[in-house]
Amino acid sequence: MAQRAVPENYQRSAPSLRDKKVIKPVTLHLPEPHPKQYELIFAFELNENVRFVAGACGTKFGKTYGCAIRIVKEAWENKGSLNWWVAPTFSQSKNAYDLVKHMLPRGTFVEYKADLRLMLVEPDGSEHSNIWFKSGDNPDSLRGFAVNFFILDEASRMPYDSFVSVMTTVTQTMGRGIIISTPQGRGWFFDVYQRGEKFDEFGEPRFSEFNPDPFPEWKAIRMPTWTNPHVKTKAIEDAKNNLPEDVFRQEYGAQFLDDSAGVFRGVSRCIEGTAFKPYIPGRRYVVGVDLARLRDYSVVIVLDADTRELVYMERFNKIDWSLQYFKIIQIAKAYHALVSIDSTGIGDPIVENLKAAGLYMEPYKIGGSTAKQQLIEKLRIAIENARVTFPHNRVTAALIDELKCYEYEFTDSGRVTYDAPSGKHDDCVIALALAFWIADTPEFRYRAWSQPGI
* Numbered ranges of CATH 3.40.50.300 in the chain: 8-234
Per-residue pLDDT of 117-132, as tens digits, reads: 999 998 888 899 999 9
How does the average pLDDT of the chain come out, rounded? 84
CATH topology of domain 8-234: Rossmann fold (3.40.50)
Per-residue pLDDT of 337-391, as tens digits, reads: 999 887 765 556 777 888 888 888 887 777 666 778 888 888 988 998 899 999 9
**Helix, strand, or coil (residue 437):** helix
Residue 404: burial class (beta carbons within 10 Å; 0-12, 13-18, 19+): middle
Per-residue pLDDT of 29-82, as tens digits, reads: 889 999 999 999 999 999 889 999 999 999 999 999 999 999 999 999 999 999
Which of 212, 217, 184 is closest to 53 using CA atoms? 217
Angle at 190 between CA 187 and CA 193, to 5 degrees: 155
Cα 238–chain centre separation: 23
* Numbered ranges of CATH 3.30.420.240 in the chain: 268-446
Q: Which helix (H) or strand (E) holds 416?
A: strand 416-419
Q: For residue 442, what pLDDT is reported? A: 65
Which of 284, 273, 316 is closest to 298 using CA atoms? 316
Q: For residue 12, what pLDDT is reported? A: 45
Selected from 3.30.420.240, 3.20.20.80, 3.40.50.300, 3.30.70.260, the CATH number assigned to the domain covering 268-446 reads 3.30.420.240
- Strands (DSSP E) contained in 260-317 are 285-290, 298-304, 309-316
Q: For residue 21, what pLDDT is reported? A: 41
